[in-house]
Amino acid sequence: MPPLLAQAEIEQALTHLPQWRTAPHASALLRDYTFADFSQAFGFMTQVALCAERLNHHPDWANVYNRVQVRLSTHDAGGLTAKDVRLAQYMEQVAERLNA
């Protein structure tokens, strides 16, 4: 299991993820995505799900029509690790392709 990130490492990661924020006590990375419609939102989730399986690292998320609320943390470590940053970066790439 990767180590928990230090506060300075979290802040550094967020400089490359400007649309993300941290939950209280930096326990998770949060972002809400809005897509054009349900198909786009579900397509995003499908692409991310395949990556999550490859990484064996899975998002906590919720979908309502065209919106996807994401919460990333490493459950086994009890906080944020490099795995969460990696998955957030991947989500940004997918969302950018979908113009979210």
| Contact set with ligand H2B (CB under 6 A) | 56-58, 74-76
CB of 5 to ligand H2B, least distance (A): 14
Helix (H), strand (E) at residue 99:
none
Cβ proximity to ligand H2B: between 15 and 56 the closer is: 56
Cβ proximity to ligand H2B: between 6 and 55 the closer is: 55
What residue ranges in the chain does DSSP mark as E strands? Answer: 21-22, 29-34, 60-64, 67-72
CB of 75 to ligand H2B, least distance (A): 4
